Every structure is written in structure tokens, then in C-alpha cells.
Structure 1
Amino acid sequence: MNQTGNVDKVRGTRVLLGVLAIWGLAVAAAAETGVFTSIPPLLIAPLIALGIIMPVIVYAMSDGFRAYIAAVGLRPLTAFHIWRIGAALLFFWYGAHNLLPEAFVRNAGWGDLIAGVLALVVVLLPESRSGYLIFHIVGFADFVVAVGTGLALFLLNDPRMAAIQTLPMVLIPLYGVGISGANHLMAFDLLRRGAASRAKGSAVEA
């Protein structure tokens, strides 16, 4: 049975990586052909939200996908967010060259750096539900602040926000944020289910 479970997990990982590769290539191709620069900037926020919502809908509707995410577990889900250290460095580079507004670099860049370093610390420490919970709350809050700041700057017509619609920066909001945001919500569900299972077990023992 364990062998079958391992095979299913490997197959699930292959399918997931395939979907993520197609998603990333689609965003890159759309950016390269100027799709994102040809649409109203305010449509970027709904596209970011859609990138988070669609995987969560699949997660909610698919027993198999939920089982796969549960098998992956909280440590790999959390470790994935270490990529945000690289995203922060890219934000800082753009900011240093005046290619993004200072407020956006400050909120999105430092937020991603804190989230990425915190993810690294949490996965290096012994497993702790509270550690995972704190990280995913902080990490999701970073996305809320970053997207809110970006939307406000688009409304203010800051011309430097146009960099968000071009490569390589566009891969952060329209690819990385979608995957990571959905990852946070799935992690919250795993934490909720784990807490519910422990509460049920305690009730049975009592």
C-alpha cells in the first residue's frame, strides 16, 4: 500500500510540475507578445486573484488533489516560499534603477524577503504547527499588502508600474503569486484539518 501511495505521489508531482510549466510558459509568452501591456493596468489585479482562486477551486473539488497535497505535507509547502528571497532581490534591483515606485519596492520587496527568510527558518527548525501557522499568516499578509500597494499605484497612474507588465517582473505577480497564494490557502486547510483531527482524538480519549 505504501508503494502504491508513493507511485501516486510521484505521478501527482509529475502532473503538477507539467501544469506549472505550462502556466509559466503561457505567462512568459503572453508577456513577450505584449498581451499584458495592451490591457488596462487595473486588470492585472483580477488576473492575480484568478491565479490564486483557480488552483484553490481545483483543490476544493478534487479529492485526489487534496489527498496529494496532504501527502506532500506542510514542510515542502512552506519550503517552496524560499523562492521569495529571489523575488525580493529582483524588486530591489528594479528599485535601485528607478524602474518601480519606491513604495512598491519597500512593501513588496521587504515583504517577500521577510517571508522567504521566515520560510527558510521554519523548515530548518523542528516541525511545529505554530511555526507553520505564523509563517503562512505572515506570507499571505505580504501578498495582500503588495497587491494592495500595486493597485493603489496603478490608480495613481505611476508610469513606473508598467514594469510589472513586462518580463521578467511579470512572472512574480502572474505566476509566483498565484502559486504561492494558493499554496498558503491549502496550507491553512491542512492546519485546520490537523487541528480538527487532534481535537477529535482528544474527545475520543476523554
Structure 2
Amino acid sequence: MLDFIGTTVLVAAIIFSINALTGAMPINSSQRIALSIGAGLWTGLAAALSGANLLLGSNPIGPPTIGTVITLPLIAAAVAAWISPSVRATLLGMPMPFLIGLNVWRVAGGFFLLLAAEGRLAGPFPTSAGWGDIITGVLALPVAWLALRGQGSALVWTWNAFGMLDLVAALAFGIMSANGSPLQIIHAGEGSEAVQVLPWSLIPTVLVPMYLIVHGIIFAKLAQNGKGVPA
């Protein structure tokens, strides 16, 4: 039952977030459709790799495969924003309150705690990832409201740093507790095994890169605001 509910929530979060992000970008309809198709295909690829058990820590190609799936979107977004003024303008053209509020979906981090209660996750990973996401998600709307009013820039910066560090810590704990992985340092029962298979693998392979990119854009917009550029 937990997998059924998780699949429903995660797919809804991905579909909603992709459509919301492309809808908030100052681009034309053709570009919006192309981005949505590209994001959908990437999500399908991530799901297919997981379905073929190519993301398992015990699989020799598992760690480099999941590492590639996580980092490639980050590198692509960073390089595109660096070399293309139009891409950079498009990303920075999304409203700050919207980008912050999108993180409300991270209250679904409670699934990590439920998986741990079922004995399917263990060690520091589910506690760190679960509570970190819940805190980030619960505070997202109040912080977005402050940003909408042009207030609380220090709080926005703190919230954004916390949200990004939560994702980085979750990735680190997940890698270090993946059973059978050559990078395993933490040996704690099931470790991070549940997030190496569907539906939970959609979190590190799709949602985490997306939210890291969102956090990066928010930091860039905060820097813009510090130079007197409107959000």
C-alpha cells in the first residue's frame, strides 16, 4: 500500500512540478512543450534504468549510473546558464515566491520515515532526508509569502541554504549506506536500498536534481536582488 500511495504522490509531484516550472518560464509555447517533453523523457529513462535494476548499489554499474542520472541535469543546467544569456534570463525570469513555494511538495519526505518504520530503510539516511524535507516543505509557503511581500531576505537565504544542504546530505548518506556499493561506509541494515528501486528511485533521480536546480536559481536571484535587480 505504501508503494501504491508513494507512486501516486511522486508521479503527481513530478508532473505538477515540470508543468509549473515550464509554465513559469518566460518562453513561447513551442519551447515550453519541448522542455516538458524532454523532462518527461528523462523521467522515463530514470524509471526504465531503475526497473532494469541498473541503479542498485550491489550492481557493478549501479553507483556510476545513478551518479550520472543525478549529476547530468545539474551540469547541463549550469553549463547552459553559464554560456547562454537567454537560458540564464529564462531561469532567472521565474518569480522567487513561486520557486520557493514549489518546495511544498517536499513534505512528502515523510515517506522516508514510513519506509524506515517498515524496515526498508535504515541508518542516518531516512532520518536526515525525511525530517530535512519535511522542515523545508512546511516552511516553503510562509517563506514564499515573505518573499512575495519583499521581506525576510535573510530568512529566504537561510531557508534556501538549509533546503539545499538537506538534499546534499541525503545524497551523501544514501551513497554511503548503499549495501554492496564500493562507496559504502555506513553499514546499517537495509541502508538506502528502497530508494534504488521504483517508485522511490524517482526521488534521487528526478526530484532531487530538479530541486537542486531550483535552489541554485533562488541563490542566483538573491544575488541579483543584492545588486538592486528586482525579483
Q: TM-score, normalised by structure 1?
A: 0.81
In structure 1, how many angstroms separate the alpha carbons of the residues matched to 2:187 and 2:67?
15
Higher relative contact order (CA closer than 8 Å, sequence separation 6+): 1
Q: Which of 157, 164, 173 lines up with 2:195 in the alignment?
A: 164
**Counterpart of 1:9?**
27
Q: Aligned partners of 1:132 and 1:9: how far apart in 2?
A: 26
Q: Which of 19, 28, 45 pairs up with 2:47?
A: 28
Distance 1:101 1:57 in 2: 36
Check conservation: 2:70, 2:208, Cα contact below 8 A.
Answer: yes
Q: Deviations over 1:135-174 (max 9, x none)?
A: 2111111112212222222313556222221011111111
Flag the structure with larger Rg: 1
Q: 1:131 offset after TM fit, Å?
A: 3.3
Question: Which residue in the other structure is 2:100 paired with?
Answer: 78
Say which SS state the counterpart of residue 9 (structure 1) adopts: coil
| Partner-residue secondary structure (3-state), 1:72 | coil
Count of residue pairs brought into register by the alignment: 192
Tell me the SS of whatever aligns to 1:90: helix
Specify the alignment match of 1:152 in structure 2. Answer: 176
8 A Cα contact 1:55 1:182, kept in partner: yes
Gaps in structure 2 of 5+ consecutive residues = 1-23, 179-183
Would you tell me which structure has more helix in proportion to its own residues?
1
Q: What is residue 103 of structure 1 aligned with on the other side?
A: 124
In 2: Cα distance, 1:124 partner to 1:196 partner: 22
8 Å CA contact retained: 2:26, 2:94: no
Q: What does residue 130 of structure 1 align with?
A: 154
TM-aligned CA distance change 1:102 to 1:157, over 3 Å? closer
Shift of 1:109: 0.4
Residue 231 of structure 2 corresponds to residue 175 of structure 1: no
- Among 70, 80, 85, which residue is 1:58 paired with? 80
Q: Which runs of 5+ in 1 are unaligned?
A: 1-5, 199-206
Aligned-partner Cα distance in 1 for 2:27–2:199: 31
**What is the alpha-carbon distance in structure 1 between the residues aligned to residue 103 and residue 34 of structure 2?**
20
- What amino acid does structure 2 have at the position aligned with 1:70? L
Give, in angstroms, the shift of residue 175 of structure 1.
Answer: 0.8
Letter matched to residue 132 of structure 1: V
Task: Tell me if structure 2 keeps the 8 A contact 1:91–1:108.
Answer: yes
Is the Cα contact below 8 Å between 2:101 and 2:140 reproduced in 1? yes
Match of residue 89 from structure 1:
110
Relative to structure 1, the CA distance from residue 117 to residue 8 in structure 2 (aligned partners, 3 Å threshold; closer, same or farther) is closer
State the 1:33 CA deviation: 2.2
Question: Does the C-alpha gap of structure 1 residues 29 and 98 become closer, same or farther in structure 2, counting only changes over 3 Å?
Answer: same
Pair 1:15–1:75, CA change in 2 (3 A)? farther
